[in-house]
Chain A
Amino acid sequence: MKGLIYKDLCTLFRNMRKTLLMICLFLILGIAMPDASFFLVYPILMAGMLPSTLLSFDEKTGWNTCVRTLPFSPLQLVGSRYLECFCLIVLPVFLEGIGLYLRDGSAAMCPFLFAAGLLGPTIMMPLYYRFGMEKSRYVLLGISGLLAVLATFTAMDLSALSGIRNVSLLLIVLPLFLLSFAVSLCFLRTLPAGDTGT
């Protein structure tokens, strides 16, 4: 797993320097501008999308096929991705937490930010491991569309969701993140490389 993380760090710092720089910039703006909470959430969402971008790189270079010829176990392959994902979100949330605490004397928003960051990869990663990067985007669009149609025709009351705040949201998203990991692992274990996104 050490080697896989080293490889992703190399890719991250070599090919995604601009994205990392933007994350830092928005992070500073979010802390410096008390009224712009968008700038607090945006860098976390961007950080949450980094693992998917790394997966795209792997697909483009053919590493996702190559890695299946090497003695990495499915647990190492999926585990390294989810661990990176977790760390890439924890780091900016931690920095924002320090900034918010110094600014407002409270970092109560951090669990919400953390949950928001985890949500994207929680949904995207299993889709990627099943369908590959390109197809998974269409599948995600399809699922979102289907949910929107369902919500419209069944007149679902989504306003209850807006009541979920901070820690409660994290308590919902964290188990989902773990479930997402288990599903991704299951896809990688049971399907040969030619039948998955990898």
Chain B
Amino acid sequence: MNAFEMNHVTRRYKDFCLENINLSLPSGCILGLIGENGAGKSTLIRLLTGLEAPDGGTVRVLGEENGQKGHHIRQRLGIVLEQQGFPDMTAIELSRLLAPVFPAWDQEKYLELLRRLSVPEDRHYLSLSAGTQRKLSLCTALCRDPELLVLDESTNGLDPVAREEVVYLLMDYTRDERHSVFIASHIVSDLEKLCDEVAFLHRGKLLLVEEKDALLERYCRVQCTREDLQGLPPSDVLSVHDTGFGVQAVIARHALPPSLPFIPVSLEDLFVSMIRGAA
């Protein structure tokens, strides 16, 4: 079963359009959505979480049509938005607000998560730093064992130690194969550590959805001269960047001339190359 499915989803605004999005997340997988600022990641998440209705297409979450009538589905969802908007309460007060609506709320686990992520229990939400607010949101989402965790830029604003801790937490969480994670971010390095699949979003359009390892296997980075690349078909060359001493290129590995040494490509390289290609 898919944790969610978006079929031909379109959402139009005056100056932006999310166009014909087809995206699904199989249960037990982590899908990372990578996109530059303004690519439409948060809009896509708002559509997925039912905060907005699509102009066209359908969104199904955990097997059910998403929308305002599907509020009960949200008991099985953990949603961490870029700006969560919790009221100005302490972590303990927040648990008194949220625990009654989540039968699976585990107070001990919640307190343990707060300690693990160094979130103070007695400070009011608005007095916390943006990073700590995000960690608190994550604690409230994880302590109720959701089947699908939706994270919007959830590692932004975290220090490297906290980011690492969050990445480990998410890895722990996805050990249970009922759990799925959809994470949107422009911090590609975090997604590279976590994701099974990646989707690239650019100006409201999905450029690709693919298994991460296969994608990284398919391309490589080379440092060479322009002449070295001349015999290659243009479709195998994703990007060429002049360095002054030659060129740096991202190319399909199957097209790699045998004489050229290559460096494994990172998701960030690939994303930037594809964006440049799309532009």
> A interface vs B, CB < 8 Å?
2-4, 6-7, 10-11, 14-15, 57-58, 61-66, 68-74, 188-195
Contacts and interface: CB of A to CB of B under 8 A. Distances in A.
Chain A contact residues: helix, strand, loop or mixed: helix
B97 interface: yes
B173 interface: no
A195 B53 contact: yes
B81 A70 contact: no
A65 B74 contact: no
A170 to B, nearest CB: 33
B97 A7 contact: yes
Interface string B42-74: 000010011111000000000000011101111
Nearest to A75: B71
A9 to B, nearest CB: 10
A188 to B, nearest CB: 8
A89 to B, nearest CB: 23
Contacts of A189: 68-69
Interface in B95-147: 96-102, 126
Given A3-B96, A3-B100, A62 B88 contact: no
Interface of B: 46, 49-53, 67-69, 71-75, 77, 79, 81, 83-89, 93, 96-102, 126
B70 to A, nearest CB: 10
B130 to A, nearest CB: 13
Contacts of A73: 71-72
Contacts of A74: 68, 71
B87 A10 contact: yes
B88 A66 contact: no
Given A3-B98, A189-B68, 16 more contacts: A2-B100, A3-B99, A11-B87, A14-B88, A62-B84, A66-B84, A69-B79, A69-B81, A72-B71, A73-B72, A189-B69, A190-B68, A192-B53, A192-B67, A192-B68, A194-B46
Contacts of B89: 7, 10
B86 A193 contact: no
20 contacts: A3-B99, A7-B89, A11-B87, A57-B87, A61-B85, A61-B86, A62-B84, A65-B81, A66-B84, A66-B85, A68-B51, A71-B71, A71-B72, A71-B101, A74-B71, A189-B68, A193-B52, A194-B46, A194-B51, A195-B52
Contacts of B93: 6-7, 10
A192 B52 contact: yes
Nearest to A5: B97
A69 B74 contact: yes
Contact of A7 (B77, B87, B102): B87
Given A68-B50, A71-B75, A194-B51, A58 B87 contact: yes
Given A190-B68, A192-B52, A65 B101 contact: no
A69 B83 contact: no
A13 to B, nearest CB: 12
